[in-house]
Structure formats: C-alpha cells, structure tokens
Amino acid sequence: MNYINTTILTLHSEADIRADNPNTSFGNPFVAPQAYALVFPSPQPAHNPVIQRVQAAPPAQTAKGHYEQQWIVSSMFATQAEEEAAIAADVQSKRVAAVMQIDVDTDALYGAVLGNRTEEYTSAANDAQAYKSAGYTGTVPPGVQSWATAKSWTATKAADDILATAAAWVGAQNAIRAARLLRKEQVRATTNTKGVADALAAWAGFLTYIKKMLGVVA
C-alpha cells in the first residue's frame, strides 16, 4: 500500500515511513502518522495498448474524501499516421497468427483421431468395401477379419461397422475442411482485431462440437 504526504503531496510506502521515523513505534496493523493518508488503488483506464501507454499520476482527493491513484493515458506516437500504421501492423500480425492457429488445431485434431494409422484405416475400409461388393461371400479380407475377431462379430457386421465408421469420418473431414477454410478467409478479410477474435471464437466453438462428435478428449 502507498501513502501520500498530504502536506507536500509525495508518495511513500510503509517502509519509507518507518525509515523516516526511526524513533517511532508503529502498531500492528500499521497506522501512518497524521501527515499521511492512505492512497486507495484504482484500475487502469481502458486504452489501446498498441498505440497508448498508461502512466501513474499523482493521487487525487476524491469527493469521498480519500485519495485515489490516478492515471494518464497518452499516445506512443507523434502522429495519427503512425498510430494507424501501428494498428494495421498489429491486425496483420494477429491475422497471420490466427490463420496458423487454425491449421495447427486442424492437424492436432487429425492426429488425435487417426494418429499414425491412416494407412491401416484406409486398408481396412478398402477390405470392407471389397467384401461388401462381393456380397459378403468368399474369403474374409484380413482388415475385416481382424475387427470381427476382436469384437466377436460376424464378418458381415464387422464390415458394415468399418464402412459406417469410415463414412462418418469422411463426413467429419468435410465439415472440418469447410469450417477451416471459412474461418481462415474470415480472418484474412477482417480489418480489425475484433474480427480476428470473432473468427477464432467461432472456430473454437466448432472444434468443441466436432471433438465431442468424434469422441476426442479435449
């Protein structure tokens, strides 16, 4: 906590006051001498950190009768053109980062669903389709037989399950691609950071939905 010397209007900490008064015994809790008043904190004012700085100003006595911390907001640039250039650069930086994040999220989602087993799943789906196309007769392909054995199912049920799972994943891939491309283009088209934030929020909502649908643990 800070205190203000109400006579000369200087700021002091508790340690400062104790050091300036070595022969004074202060109680617990600390009570400042009569010449000092407690400075109540106040939140920094709203500002744009890209182009503005906030600096502490001398405390002021309020209508409530106590002193409060004051703040000064000032521009970091000399001209409006410089401010506009800084804002544009910030928006561009956030656009680039957002586009990269969407792609990173997509890759992570694919990894969570498929791992390094894409070829295995594709082979199993091909086996299941071939078995179905043969009318579920003849030699059971290994990709189908392994699933039937693991689940204690018939080959027909295993093949149908593999194909249903593959179809569901294709549908999910189409939804992921559509959302990824849409949100990336929204990010690229926006001219302000709110537009970037809105696109990322929509993307995050979609990710939550699709992960739940796919049974992916967040």
Q: What is the pLDDT of residues 172-187, one digit of tens each?
A: 999 999 999 999 999 9
Extract the tokens encoding 48. 């744009």
The single-letter code of the amino acid at 217 is: V
Q: How far apart are the first and last CA of the chain?
A: 42
Is 127 a residue whose pLDDT tops 90? yes
Tell me what pLDDT residue 198 has.
98
Is 218 a residue whose pLDDT tops 80? no
pLDDT confidence band for 33 (50 / 70 / 90): very high
Q: How far apart are CA 103 and CA 30, in angstroms?
A: 56
Nearest Cα neighbor of 182 from 167, 169, 194, 198 is: 198
**Contacts (Cβ under 8 Å, ≥6 apart) of 71:** 42, 44, 45, 54, 55, 56, 57
Tell me what pLDDT residue 1 has.
86
Q: What is the pTM of this model?
A: 0.77
